[in-house]
């Protein structure tokens, strides 16, 4: 497994070792010992899965402390553009975002530490995304940031289709007005 730094403290692209032959493939999508040896303190307590169609944008979502969640994102089927927005005021990357294409072919993953908002857009006809989190979902702590905030200027890569946004995500406030206790 290769752990690649992104320029954001604690945010990593993970490239698992994939063993392929005529039967198919095998890889470890998560190994706690490997993470701990790399200095990543991440012990998942909940698995989530979503299925979305091309052009869907989900996000930007996060939970306030003490219910904040670190996440390990992977694509089971399809292709997405995954985005992590740094909400940590004490970091030089505060208010900046990192984006990476993740797909079921490469099996690359994104590890997002606490203190980030997360979102993605679907680039394939259908995408199934799984993510592990280290804290259970808490509805009262759930927050969001407008996916289309001009200050953030996120290119969701949906030029070839009409973006599909949930009613809830359309009501998210801009970055500067979003509640943040990081």
**pLDDT tens sequence across 29-82:** 999 999 999 999 999 999 999 999 999 999 999 999 999 999 999 999 999 999
Average pLDDT, the chain: 97
Given the residues 35, 62, 131, 147, select the one marked as catalytic.
131
Cα separations in angstroms, 22 against 19, 25, 26, 28: 11, 8, 12, 19
30 is catalytic: no
Kind plus residue range of the DSSP H or E element containing 83: strand 79-86
- Domains of the chain, first to last: 2-177 (2.60.120.10)
Task: Kindly report, residue by residue over 54-65, the tens digit of the pLDDT.
Answer: 999 999 999 999
Distance CA 162, CA 34 (A): 40
Stretch 151-180: mean pLDDT, rounded? 96
What is the pLDDT at residue 24?
96
- Where does the pLDDT of residue 12 fall: very low under 50, low under 70, confident under 90, or very high at 90 and above? very high
Stretch 147-172: mean pLDDT, rounded? 96
131 is catalytic: yes
Count of all residues that appear for the chain in the document: 182
Distance CA 165, CA 77 (A): 21
What is the pLDDT at residue 7?
98
Distance CA 115, CA 106 (A): 27
* Short-list 114, 168, 175, CA closest to 148: 175
Cα separations in angstroms, 177 against 84, 91, 92, 103, 169: 18, 19, 20, 33, 15
What is the pLDDT at residue 2?
95
Stretch 119-131: mean pLDDT, rounded? 98
Given the residues 12, 61, 62, 147, select the one marked as catalytic.
61
Predicted TM-score (pTM) of this structure: 0.96
């Amino acid at each position: 497994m290769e752990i690649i730094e992104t320029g954001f403290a604690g945010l990593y692209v993970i490239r698992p070792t994939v063993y392929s032959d005529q039967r198919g493939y095998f890889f470890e999508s998560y190994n706690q010992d490997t993470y701990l040896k790399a200095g990543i303190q991440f012990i998942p307590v909940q698995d989530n899965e979503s299925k979305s169609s091309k052009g869907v944008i989900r996000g930007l979502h996060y939970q306030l402390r003490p219910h904040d969640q670190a996440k390990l994102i992977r694509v089971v089927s399809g292709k997405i553009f995954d985005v992590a927005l740094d909400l940590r005021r004490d970091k030089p990357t505060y208010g900046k975002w990192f984006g990476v294409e993740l797909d079921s072919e490469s099996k690359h993953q994104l590890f997002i530490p606490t203190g980030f908002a997360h979102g993605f857009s679907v680039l394939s006809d259908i995408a199934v995304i799984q993510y592990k989190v280290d804290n259970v979902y808490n509805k009262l702590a759930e927050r969001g940031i407008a996916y289309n905030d001009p200050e953030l200027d996120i290119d969701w890569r949906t030029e070839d289709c009409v973006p599909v946004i949930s009613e809830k995500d359309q009501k998210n406030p801009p970055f500067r007005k979003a509640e943040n206790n990081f």
